Amino acid sequence: MRTLFHSRFYSLTAACALTAAALLAPSKSLLAEGTLAQSAHRIVAVGGSVTEIVFALGEEDRLVARDTTSNHPASAAKLPDVGYIRALSPEGVMSVDPDLILMLEGSGPVETVDVLKKSGVAIADIPEEFTDQGILNKVLAVGEALGVPEKAEKLAEKLKVDLETAQSEADMSSSDLRVLFILTARDGRILASGSETAASGIIALAGARNAVDDFSGYKQLSDEAVLSAAPDVVLMMQRGENHNVHPEEVFDHPALAQTPAGQNKRVIVMGGQYLLGFGPRTADAIRELSDQLSDIRS
């Protein structure tokens, strides 16, 4: 994982390597051209968690646009939308005349990112890692990019305590349930989350087990794979009005219907960005998911 500013002005390389101990010490990675970061006032945030962090740092007045996944807080939706994080166009991003782009790792497509990096506009690549420490690194990277590292350190300290408390509470009621995260289940085809995904990360933080971890990323499951996974509960996210599949419909799948989750009609549905964003609200998401798992267990 790297944290890197691609611009003719400055570079940042250390945020992802910061440890919990570093959170308690003054930042030593101030930008050589820090005043440029502080003077950026036409900022585009790409990535819902990135936008949430900007708001949590009290720097939202510097935002001029955001991507489609940036739907929290509600006031963020009033900003111009430059497109979906993985389907950006150079024209859409540049249309708001930004002087800094905060770009979450995984933004794309690659061709658009390449064009933007050649445009001369400062770009901060914000690291993405689906762990509690990954959230703190993200906060510190955004704060560094904005030229407000002290604010970021304070926010990271607060979130660190909140995340530790939420995980401790989850461990006390650890269900060890097998959870199958289903991204889509249209036409009888189940697309599920394996390892190294946001879904797998949040399931682990909530004290449960990902029912499928023998592959990374997302994969369509065969009937045999569904039966072998033997999930105790299905986890899904709320989607747009035209993309929703009613949770009960997933149990029409013949293989899933034979699993413990299907036999007991156990399903949990949570907001997508809230559940998978790995940002300032993740501790609350851990608590909510853990509570619902505990209710199922009991």
Fill in the amino acid letter for 34: G
Element (H, E) at 236: strand 233-238
Q: Which of 138, 168, 198 is the last residue in one of the domains? A: 168
CB 236 within 8 A of CB 247: yes
- Preceding peptide of 26 cis, ω within 30°: no
Residues 6+ apart with CB under 8 A from 136: 18, 20, 23, 156, 159, 160
Please report, rounded to a whole number, the percentage of residues in the chain having pLDDT higher than 90.
Answer: 78
Q: Are residues 151 and 32 in the same domain?
A: yes
The mean pLDDT of 95-120, rounded to a whole number, is 97
- Do 124 and 237 have their domain in common? no
- 120 and 200 share a domain? no
Query: In this model, does residue 176 exceed pLDDT 50?
Result: yes
Same domain for 152 and 204, yes or no, is no
Question: pLDDT band at 240, cuts 50/70/90?
Answer: low
Look-up: residue for tokens 């997302």?
A: 218
| DSSP tag of 184 | E
Q: 23: which 2 tokens?
A: 């959170």
Same domain? For 251 and 195 the reply is yes
Residue 5 has pLDDT above 80, yes or no: no
Does 278 lie in the same domain as 245?
A: yes
Q: Is the pLDDT of residue 100 over 70?
A: yes
- Work out whether strand 100-104 and strand 122-126 pair parallel, antiparallel, or are unpaired: parallel
Closest among 104, 81, 98, 88 to 42, alpha carbons compared: 98
Assess contact for 125 and 5: CB atoms under 8 A.
yes
Cα 76 to Cα 37, 48, 60, 146, distances in angstroms: 21, 10, 9, 18
Tell me: the pLDDT tens digits for 33-92?
344 576 899 999 999 999 999 999 999 999 999 999 999 999 999 999 999 999 999 999
- My answer on whether 135 and 74 are in the same domain is yes
146 shares a domain with 290: no
Contact (Cβ atoms closer than 8 angstroms) between residue 116 and residue 122: no
- Mean pLDDT, the chain, integer: 87
Average of pLDDT values for 217-240? 93
What are the CA-CA distances from residue 4 to residues 21, 62, 124, 137 (Å)? 22, 21, 6, 13
Residue 240 CB coordination number (10 Å) = 8
**CATH number of domain containing 224:** 3.40.50.1980
Q: Are residues 188 and 263 in the same domain?
A: yes
Domain that holds residue 151: 4-168
pLDDT band (50, 70, 90) for residue 1 = very low
Last residue of a domain, one of 168, 194, 223: 168
* Domain-terminating residue out of 152, 168, 184: 168
The amino acid present at 4, given as its one-letter code, is L
Band (pLDDT 50/70/90 cuts) for residue 7 is very low
- Partners of 65 in beta bridges: 44
Rounded to whole angstroms, the maximal C-alpha distance in the chain is 61
Q: What's the total number of domains in the chain?
A: 2
What are 189's two structure tokens? 């085809």
Q: Is there a single domain that holds both residue 155 and residue 61?
A: yes
Percent of the chain with pLDDT over 70: 83
Q: How far apart are the first and last CA of the chain?
A: 39
| Phi–psi pair at 32, nearest 5 degrees | -60, -30
Q: Average pLDDT in the 141-162 region?
A: 97
**pLDDT of the residue at 174:** 63
User: Which segment of 34-38, 65-69, 247-251, 263-267 scores lowest on mean pLDDT?
Assistant: 34-38
Q: Which helix H or strand E contains 104, and what residues bound it?
A: strand 100-104
Regarding whether 180 and 113 lie in a shared domain, the answer is no
Lowest mean per-residue pLDDT among 13-22, 135-144, 221-230, 234-243: 13-22
- Whether residue 33 is found in the same domain as residue 152: yes
Q: Is pLDDT of 20 > 90? A: no
Residue 187 has a pLDDT of 82
β-bridge pairing 122-126 and 4-6: antiparallel
